[in-house]
């Protein structure tokens, strides 16, 4: 009888001790989470933020900082995350949060975009910095990237006229950087279909200038860097993804450059037959930009003119 009572007491004690330990663990987690939230709230009220506006701003620092939340994240790259922030006036902006370890990339992007105003280059509203965080606030472009429209499943394809206008617009943006941006050209060595964003009318904007650089003379930029847009141009015509080695898709195109029939086979099969001749001409221009020697390559200004002449030559 005594043993049975002792056994019950031990069981009750064990259950009670377990409940106490679980309660303590839960309370400890609650306190830690609350401290983290309090720390975050405190940092948001820290007045050490430095804002550099490049356009008239219709938002405050805290409109931006308070919206840097997981549920607002729309993209993530090697240097940080991108957030969509909805403002009280109904507008949206895109905010890139660049990690401290990528401070050089942040500085490059601010230097390049702060003085640029062009319809085919994404608009940088301001930079917001503190000791631990670097934020870039851009115009928000609702139609994602050219890559999404060409290659993502569930996204409707784009017709040839739209692709052609995207090629023209992106090339005009690059021509501005090469030839019209002050005394020293800006070269963006990371032009891909992922970095060509599209607005509500599917008009292109060049974005992501973390790997851009300023070269010393316009002569350097004239033809050396026109290959930036080659792989993207090929994607626009063929609808194919680039290979891991981007030169692979270019070599594949070269191997098909023979008769009109073989070149026609390169054009995206979803494209209307009546536009194939235009598409082939754009493809030839893209391949010209990838010549092994810089001498035969056209300048970016020449590429714009060649593309604009495509439709005139067909008429």
From the first residue on, what is the mean pLDDT of each consecutive set of 10 residues in the chain (315 residues)? 54 55 55 48 57 92 92 84 94 88 70 84 92 88 93 79 96 87 67 91 87 49 60 89 60 56 82 91 87 76 94 67
> Which one of the listed residues 39, 92, 190, 222 is annotated catalytic?
190
Annotated binding-site positions? 96
The pTM is what? 0.77
pLDDT on residue 114 = 83
Concatenate the DSSP letters of all residues of the chain into one string.
Answer: -HHHHHHHHHHHHHHHHHHHHHHHHHHHHHHHHHHHHHHHHHHHT-TT-EEEESS---S-HHHHHTT--GGGEEEEETTEEEEEEE-TTS-EEEEEEE-GGGHHHHHHHHHHHTT---TTB--EEEEEE-SS-EEEEEE--TT-BHHHHHH-TTS----HHHHHHHHHHHHHHHHIIIIISSSS-EEETT--GGGEEE-TT--EEE---TTEEE-S-HHHHHHHTGGGGHHHHHHHHH-PPPPSSHHHHHHHHHHH-SSHHHHHTTS-TTS-GGGHHHHHHHHHHHHHTT-SSSTTSPPHHHHHHHHHHHHHHH-
- The binding site for ATP consists of 96
Q: Could you please report the per-residue DSSP string of 130-169? A: -SS-EEEEEE--TT-BHHHHHH-TTS----HHHHHHHHHH
Q: Which of 64, 252, 191 is nearest to 140 (CA)?
A: 64
In the numeric block, which tokens belong to residue 167? 């090629």
Q: Does the annotation count 39 as an active-site position?
A: no
């Amino acid at each position: 009888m005594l043993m049975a009572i002792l056994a019950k007491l031990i069981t009750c004690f064990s259950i009670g001790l377990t409940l106490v330990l679980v309660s303590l663990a839960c309370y400890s987690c609650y306190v830690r989470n609350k401290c983290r939230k309090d720390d975050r709230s405190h940092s948001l009220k820290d007045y050490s933020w430095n804002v550099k506006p490049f356009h008239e701003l219709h938002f405050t620092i805290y409109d931006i900082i308070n919206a840097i939340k997981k549920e607002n994240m729309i993209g993530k790259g090697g240097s940080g995350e991108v957030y969509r922030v909805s403002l009280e006036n109904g507008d949206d902006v895109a905010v890139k949060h660049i990690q401290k370890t990528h401070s050089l990339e942040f500085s490059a992007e601010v230097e390049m975009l702060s003085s640029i105003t062009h319809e085919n280059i994404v608009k940088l509203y301001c930079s917001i910095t503190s000791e631990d965080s670097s934020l870039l606030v851009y115009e928000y472009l609702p139609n994602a990237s050219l890559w999404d429209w060409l290659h993502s499943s569930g996204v409707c394809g784009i017709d040839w006229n739209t692709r052609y206008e995207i090629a023209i617009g992106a090339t005009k943006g690059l021509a501005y950087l090469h030839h019209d941006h002050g005394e020293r050209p800006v070269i963006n060595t990371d032009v891909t279909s992922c970095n060509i964003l599209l607005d509500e009318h599917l008009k292109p904007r060049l974005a992501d200038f973390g790997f851009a650089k300023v070269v010393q003379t316009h002569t350097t930029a004239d033809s050396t860097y026109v290959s930036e847009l080659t792989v993207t141009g090929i994607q626009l015509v063929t609808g194919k993804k680039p290979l891991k080695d981007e030169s692979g898709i270019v070599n594949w195109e070269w191997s098909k450059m023979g008769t009109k029939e073989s070149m026609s086979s390169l054009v995206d099969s979803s494209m209307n037959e009546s536009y194939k001749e235009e598409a082939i001409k754009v493809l030839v221009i893209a391949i010209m930009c990838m010549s092994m020697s810089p001498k035969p390559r056209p300048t970016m200004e020449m590429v714009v003119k060649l593309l604009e002449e495509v439709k005139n030559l067909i008429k």
